[in-house]
């Protein structure tokens, strides 16, 4: 029987449908203003794609920022556990996971069996997250998807002193007004994210292999800056945004086996 994992974050909601350890289908869509509505829309969209009803699901695990609001879930599990489980499934060699989502970032260290040993989390502000990059892209007048390409055109790096989203936006506007190249500013922003994230990694200890998950993993400039800072080759999954929902679905299957 199929199970589902739902990861409702501040910016996006992901659903993974799983049967006997195989991904049947997954969906990624904006969360919008209501976590519960986003979860219901995402799971119904996923089920429709494989011609199933909600009643066909044997177990549903919810995780993420909005997990408490998902009243049709059979169980709610922290995103630390789910992201760790999902990353380990994608690559059992992984021992450290960096997850950078819409409003928070986390680093997780795993055992040889994929259990969480330690973690560090930045959930106090949006510094270095997807929301941070959205605001910076707007300040630089570039599409979010084009921010990495802009950064790659840089001839030097403009240091960004603030990681607070509000102050960093003002700083970027000021730097543009002074005539500094936008591409150099973009590189500086990516470097500042790498510096902050690397600090979290060092706090819990880097053990390879290292994987990055979350929406920001799709920004190649962030990954490249982290590779350089941490002096390693970071694994980027084919779809890094579904790691949490995948982990939730895997844990749903484990619940059925107990």
So where are the chain's domains? 1-91+239-258, 93-236
**Tokens encoding 113:** 């069996």
Nearest CA-CA partner of 5 in 254, 210, 217, 215: 254
* Residue of higher predicted confidence among 115 and 257: 115
Q: Indicate the CATH number for domain 1-91+239-258.
A: 3.30.420.40
Examine the pLDDT at 56 and tell me if it is beyond 70.
Answer: yes
1-91+239-258 and 93-236 in the same fold: yes
Examine the pLDDT at 24 and tell me if it is beyond 70.
Answer: yes
Nearest CA-CA partner of 6 in 52, 61, 65: 61
d(CA 120, CA 122): 7
Distances (CA, A) of 242 to 53, 63, 64, 79, 101: 21, 12, 11, 12, 11
Q: Model's pTM, two decimal places?
A: 0.92
With a pLDDT cut of 90, the percent of the chain lying above it is 85
pLDDT of residue 201: 96
pLDDT of residue 123: 61
Cβ-based neighbours of 218, under 8 Å, separated by 6 or more: 240, 241
d(CA 90, CA 71): 28
The sheet that has 96-100: what strands, in order across it?
A: 116-122, 105-110, 96-100, 210-213
Domain 93-236 is classified in which CATH homologous superfamily?
Answer: ATPase, nucleotide binding domain (3.30.420.40)
* Residue of higher predicted confidence among 183 and 164: 183
pLDDT of residue 244: 97
Mean pLDDT confidence for 56-84: 95
- Which residue bears the tokens 């053990």? 207
- To the nearest whole number, what is the mean pLDDT of the chain? 94
- Which residue bears the tokens 């992901």? 14
Query: How many Cβ atoms sit within 10 Å of the Cβ of residue 229?
Result: 17
């Amino acid at each position: 029987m199929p199970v589902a994992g739902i990861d409702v974050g501040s910016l996006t909601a992901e659903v993974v449908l799983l049967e006997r350890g195989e991904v049947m289908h997954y969906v990624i869509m904006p969360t919008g203003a209501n976590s519960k509505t986003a979860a219901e829309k995402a799971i119904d969209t996923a089920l429709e794609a494989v011609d199933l009803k909600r009643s066909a699901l044997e177990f549903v695990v919810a995780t993420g920022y909005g997990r408490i609001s998902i009243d049709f879930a059979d169980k709610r599990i922290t995103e630390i556990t789910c992201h760790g489980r999902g990353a380990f499934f994608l690559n059992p060699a992984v021992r450290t996971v960096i997850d950078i989502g819409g409003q928070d970032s986390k680093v997780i260290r795993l055992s040889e069996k994929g259990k969480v040993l330690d973690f560090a989390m930045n959930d106090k502000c949006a510094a270095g997250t997807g929301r941070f990059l959205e605001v910076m892209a707007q300040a630089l007048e570039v599409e979010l998807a084009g921010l990495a390409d802009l950064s790659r055109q840089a001839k030097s790096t403009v240091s960004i002193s603030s990681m607070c989203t509000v102050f960093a936006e003002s700083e970027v506007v000021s730097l543009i007004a002074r005539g500094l190249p936008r591409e150099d500013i973009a590189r500086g922003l990516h470097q500042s994210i790498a510096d902050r994230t690397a600090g979290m990694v060092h706090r819990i200890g880097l053990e390879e292999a290292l994987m990055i998950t979350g929406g920001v993993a799709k920004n190649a400039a962030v990954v490249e800056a982290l590779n350089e800072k941490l002096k390693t080759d970071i694994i980027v999954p084919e779809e890094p945004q579904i790691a949490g929902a995948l982990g939730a679905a895997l844990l749903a299957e484990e619940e059925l086996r107990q």
